[in-house]
């Protein structure tokens, strides 16, 4: 089905080229982070890495907030986090390049603080799953706050891929650091609120009655010919009006107490 568009299509060749470059930069940055995790996993077999993990409630374990996301306990652990970081990092970096760069330090530190504050004494926490949870909640939170088309589409994709992270922020499986997941999720929502205006929103298409209020007669006439034109909000008929009950009406008569 073809619909006539009164204005030029915004998806110009220049815009498509800019979108491809932004996607390529986000993919390359996410891939570089995954390769860093893989290199660290290979190198950690040559030394005692326990001092670099997060030790909850111990002052010496605070250094793990900076180093623990680089460490992993097994190839399966590394593979699961690598795939999540590659997909969610590429998605977030493509749709929100500025917000993602500004949010990454907050996600990194927030996930570590969650493990340090909420973890059990005597345990060790490591892995980048908290950062992955932070990216998912960042994209999902920005979709709820911004509510433009790219933001809603990115939030739906993130939820389709990793919607289960809404449950893994709570205790569910022994040996899994839900504390880091919880810290990353809270940091992701906080970063979404703080950096929701970091990336410019695409211009919204306005209706003819909006342009009439701004005295743009020419643009209003062109927009009025759009088959997708909607009526003014005050011109939409009211289908149902709630009538308040009469004063003094008794719905349920209760027995009087002595």
Does 81 fall in a domain? Answer: yes
CATH code of 88's domain: 1.20.1540.10
Does 223 fall in a domain? Answer: no
Sequence-ordered list of residues with C-beta below 8 angstroms from that of 93, at least 6 positions apart, any chain: 22, 25, 26, 27, 29, 30, 100, 101
Does 65 fall in a domain? Answer: yes
pLDDT category of residue 24 using cuts at 50, 70 and 90: very high
Does 130 fall in a domain? Answer: yes
Q: Find, among 198, 179, 36, 178, the residue nearest to 103 by Cα.
A: 198
Structural domain containing residue 115: 16-194
Does 241 fall in a domain? Answer: no
Mean pLDDT calculated for residue range 69-84? 91
Does 157 fall in a domain? Answer: yes
Q: What is the DSSP letter of 82?
A: H
Condensed to tens digits (0 to 9), the pLDDT of residues 149-172 reads: 889 999 999 999 999 999 989 887
Q: Which residue has the tokens 């180093």?
A: 67
Does 30 fall in a domain? Answer: yes
Look at the chain and report how many structural domains it folds into: 1
Q: Which residue has the tokens 């703080």?
A: 194
CA dist 36 to 49, 52, 71, 176, 182, Å?
Answer: 16, 16, 10, 22, 24
Sequence-ordered list of residues with C-beta below 8 angstroms from that of 3, at least 6 positions apart, any chain: 227, 228
Does 152 fall in a domain? Answer: yes
Question: Does the pTM of the predicted model rise above 0.85?
Answer: no
Strand partners, 54: 125
Condensed to tens digits (0 to 9), the pLDDT of residues 104-140 reads: 999 999 999 999 999 888 888 998 999 999 999 999 9
């Amino acid at each position: 089905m073809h619909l006539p568009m009164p204005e030029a299509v915004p998806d110009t060749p220049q815009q498509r080229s800019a979108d491809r470059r932004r996607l390529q930069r986000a993919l390359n940055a996410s891939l570089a982070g995954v390769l860093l995790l893989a290199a660290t996993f290979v190198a950690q077999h040559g030394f005692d890495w326990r001092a670099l993990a997060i030790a909850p409630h111990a002052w010496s374990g605070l250094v793990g907030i900076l180093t623990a996301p680089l460490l992993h306990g097994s190839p399966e652990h590394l593979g699961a986090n690598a795939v999540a970081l590659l997909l969610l990092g590429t998605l977030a970096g493509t749709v929100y390049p500025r917000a993602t760069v500004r949010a990454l330090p907050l996600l990194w530190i927030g996930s570590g603080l969650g493990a340090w504050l909420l973890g059990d004494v005597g345990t060790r926490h490591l892995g980048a799953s908290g950062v992955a949870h932070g990216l998912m909640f960042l994209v999902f939170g920005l979709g709820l706050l911004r509510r433009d088309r790219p933001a809603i589409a990115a939030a739906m994709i993130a939820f389709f891929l990793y919607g289960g992270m809404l449950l893994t922020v709570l205790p569910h499986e022994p040996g899994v650091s839900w504390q880091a997941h919880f810290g990353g999720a809270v940091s992701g929502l906080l970063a979404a609120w703080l950096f929701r205006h970091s990336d410019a929103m695409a211009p919204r298409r306005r209706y003819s009655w909006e342009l009439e209020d701004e005295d743009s007669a020419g643009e209003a006439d062109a927009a009025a010919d759009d088959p997708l034109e909607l009526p003014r909000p005050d011109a939409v008929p009211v289908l149902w009006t709630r009538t308040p009950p009469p004063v003094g009406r008794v719905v349920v008569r209760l027995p009087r107490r002595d």
